[in-house]
């Protein structure tokens, strides 16, 4: 495995933890796909730096638990702006 890819995985993980960012926001910030972010932080990071992986997992689990709330708020905002 390339050292560059491992470094990217660590950088993505640190960004997610520091900013409590979603996979989508992280992908946008770094200009890569959501799939790449997800594979980096779920597979590669687990092998390279397990402690950081555990922190990232907590943030992503929290984001997933709140996803339905953010979606509902976005829909509400959409229809309020149509009036």
Q: How confident is the model at residue 2 (pLDDT cuts 50, 70, 90)?
A: low
Query: Tell me: the pLDDT tens digits for 18-74?
Result: 999 999 999 999 999 999 999 999 999 999 999 999 999 999 999 888 878 878 888
Instruction: Note down the domain range covering 40.
Output: 3-82
First to last CA, the chain: 54
3-class secondary structure, 49: coil
pTM: 0.80
Sequence-distant (≥ 6) Cβ neighbours of residue 25 within 8 angstroms: 19
Cα 70 to Cα 74: distance, rounded to the nearest angstrom: 6
Number of domains in the chain: 1
């Amino acid at each position: 495995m390339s050292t560059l890819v491992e470094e990217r995985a660590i950088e993505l993980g640190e960004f997610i933890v520091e900013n409590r960012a979603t996979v989508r926001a992280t992908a946008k910030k770094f200009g890569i796909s959501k799939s790449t972010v997800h594979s980096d932080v779920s597979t590669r990071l687990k092998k390279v730096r397990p402690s950081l992986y555990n922190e990232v997992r907590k943030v992503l689990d929290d984001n997933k638990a709140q996803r339905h709330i953010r979606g509902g708020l976005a829909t509400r905002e959409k229809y309020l702006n149509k009036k």
